[in-house]
Structure 1
Amino acid sequence: MRSRRAAVAIPLGVLALSLAFTGCGAQPAAAPTVTRTPTPTATPTAEAGGVESIAVVGDSMSLAATACGEPTACVEQSWAIGTDAAVDSVATRLGALQGNTPSTTAIAKLGAKASWARGQVAALKAADPDVVLVLLGANDACAPSDDEVTGPDAFAADYAEVLAGVRSSAPGAAIVAYSVPDLLRLWELGRDDPETVEMWQASPSCRSLLADAGSDASDAVARRTAIADLVTSYNTSIQAACAATEGCTWDEGAVNATQFELEDVSTLDHFHASAAGQATLAAAAWPVVERALGL
């Protein structure tokens, strides 16, 4: 990695987030910026200090909402920057390679869309990260109503602006752009469970996908198919935006191709990822980081 000064310490942001079991649609008043300082790890196998700081730009998935069994953000279980050994996050894996865990920053919010992230990535200037992980798009498709779904052209423009902002704010960082998870898989896992369907029906979140979750009526099937197609369109746009951004590595659809199982979904709200799901995502995300850094 590039030669750089020591990582700047940023005060720990306030992280009081209540999900109220409404899924990703919950919107806190302000986005938390979470920063942790490096901690030593054992047996370095790569050049120590190669990555001093890592940041993630995202939504509730990167905040690990509900993953600790509480209706809050659980950053310790985050696939990207978590410290829970059972999750084995990207930051943890980097620490194991180089002998010191990088400082970490999360620019993320429950319910965040790509349009929200556009105005937030300037905060990366203070964090000065060596690596920036970007995972956005789920909330653009998984919206409270059909009218609130982000169209493919708008998403493409928003996402391209996000990457441009990341590149401008962190000019020396390696950027990793992840595909949108397979949202239809969430419905497939829960559609036959009455408790899950009842919870989805009671929630105002993700109606674009999960309304009438137990129905096989033609309009319900068509609506879900349209969301799956939209996610495919989003991923095409993410790939194109990454290709147009210097120093960006696309995950080649790895996250979207990850097939989560029941244990990967929170039993608290049947919507967010459990700690096991965060570990599954970390395992899918890590090889892309290795490729981006030439590890």
Structure 2
Amino acid sequence: MPESRRSRRGRTAVAALTAALVLPLGALAGCDSSDSGANRAQAHRSASPPPAPTWDRSPRSVAAVGDSITRGFDACSVLSDCPAVSWATGSDARVRSLVSRLGVKKAWNDARTGARMADVPGQIAAAAAHRPELLTIMAGANDACRDSVSHMTPVDEFRTSFATALKRFRTALPMSEVYVSSVPDLKRLWSQGRGNPLGKEIWKLGFCASMLRDADAVDPAAVRRRDAVQKRVVAYNTVLKDVCAADTHCRYDGGAVFGFRFTGAQLSHWDWFHPGRDGQERLAEIAYRAITAVRPPA
């Protein structure tokens, strides 16, 4: 039957209306696809890690803070500092200190024999006044080396002192680099030095009694005491690592000093506990490698 004119007009109107609806929807879908791609690209850019801060591997000045190790205690003569052989700032040709290896002409040693981490913020104030491009910190052994295990510095107090020291330095010198040495393995030093009769006599003067007292005792109580000191040193090193990691211009040695296998050849021939010249040389090597590496120690 022939289609009526009214029916044809109705079908034409429906088709026109459908086209009018489809075109905006298609355009809208196209916009959504484009916007989604742009959003994904933006998200990818946002997820990309920021560029790593530049570490200065060639500082022109160095200041050192810390304890007796950085002062070269007992390395040249009995019960005396010998900063000339300091691993950090010494001038002794055999040791080839950090500053010698870096070719640095301006250096200051503000470490003090007997210092604990609580003393380091004060040393930082003196070191920051020199405006060094690199600061070295080696402290913590005396926090574990006390007359008894019960007197060792609590870990929380150690953390507060170290964080305060680093913040104080960063406030004064926002862009200077900081190298942080791990605390040495005191139990290893005991095991190496206890075979020397002279060393054990010196230890009786009170050297690190928490670890060295009754050097030949291996009864359960002595073992527990030394293990407690060892555990505390490990905890201190975890603090050093964590606090340093929060500062973009700080490098921890990755536990290299703690892990170094000191032998009698590297110990002082007066107290058989502190590093001698050879030990100071090893510490300088460790620091130089960490500071001049492209990437920080793991």
**How far apart are 1:292 and its partner, in Å?**
7.1
- Among candidates 62, 65, 73, match of residue 57 of structure 1: 65
RMSD: 1.8
CA distance, structure 1, for counterparts of residue 74 and residue 193 of structure 2 = 17
Q: Tell me the secondary structure at the aligned position of residue 166 of structure 1.
A: helix
8 A contact 2:64–2:127 mirrored in 1: no
Q: Does 1:245 align with 2:253?
A: no
**How far apart are 1:241 and its partner, in Å?**
0.5
8 A contact 1:124–1:169 mirrored in 2: no
- Among candidates 226, 234, 237, match of residue 235 of structure 1: 237
Give the aligned partner of residue 79 of structure 2: 71
CA distance, structure 2, for counterparts of residue 196 and residue 87 of structure 1 = 23
CA distance, structure 1, for counterparts of residue 90 and residue 63 of structure 2 = 11
- Among candidates 185, 188, 211, match of residue 209 of structure 1: 211
Q: Does 1:223 align with 2:230?
A: no
Q: Deviations over 1:157-209 (max 9, x none)?
A: 21111211221232221111111111111110122333322331x21231111
Aligned length: 240
Give the aligned partner of residue 123 of structure 2: 120
- Among candidates 117, 125, 134, match of residue 137 of structure 2: 134
Give the aligned partner of residue 266 of structure 2: 264
CA distance, structure 1, for counterparts of residue 231 and residue 150 of structure 2 = 16
So what's the TM-score if we normalise by structure 1? 0.77
Letter in 2 for 1:122: A
Give the aligned partner of residue 21 of structure 2: none
Note the residue ranges of structure 2 that are not aligned, 5 or more in a row.
1-56
Within 5 Å, give how 1:71-150 maps onto structure 2: 71-95=79-103, 101-150=104-153
Q: Tell me the secondary structure at the aligned position of residue 105 of structure 1.
A: strand
Letter in 2 for 1:68: C
Letter in 2 for 1:244: A
Give the aligned partner of residue 193 of structure 1: 196
Letter in 2 for 1:189: Q
**How far apart are 1:50 and its partner, in Å?**
5.0
Q: Deviations over 1:70-94 (max 9, x none)?
A: 5321111000011111001110000
Task: From the superposition, tell whether residues 292 and 124 of structure 1 become closer, same or farther in structure 2 (CA, over 3 Å).
Answer: farther
CA distance, structure 1, for counterparts of residue 135 and residue 241 of structure 2 = 16
Give the aligned partner of residue 273 of structure 1: 275
8 A contact 2:182–2:237 mirrored in 1: yes
Within 5 Å, give how 1:284-295 maps onto structure 2: 284-291=286-293
Larger helix proportion, structure 1 or 2? 2
Q: Deviations over 1:92-141 (max 9, x none)?
A: 0001xxxxx33111121111000011223112332000001111110001
CA distance, structure 1, for counterparts of residue 294 and residue 214 of structure 2 = 41
8 A contact 1:176–1:292 mirrored in 2: no
Q: Tell me the secondary structure at the aligned position of residue 270 of structure 1.
A: coil
CA distance, structure 1, for counterparts of residue 62 and residue 246 of structure 2 = 22
CA distance, structure 2, for counterparts of residue 69 and residue 254 of structure 1 = 27
Larger Rg: 2
Note the residue ranges of structure 1 that are not aligned, 5 or more in a row.
1-48, 96-100
CA distance, structure 2, for counterparts of residue 154 and residue 210 of structure 1 = 24
8 A contact 1:60–1:73 mirrored in 2: yes
> How many percent identity over aligned positions?
37
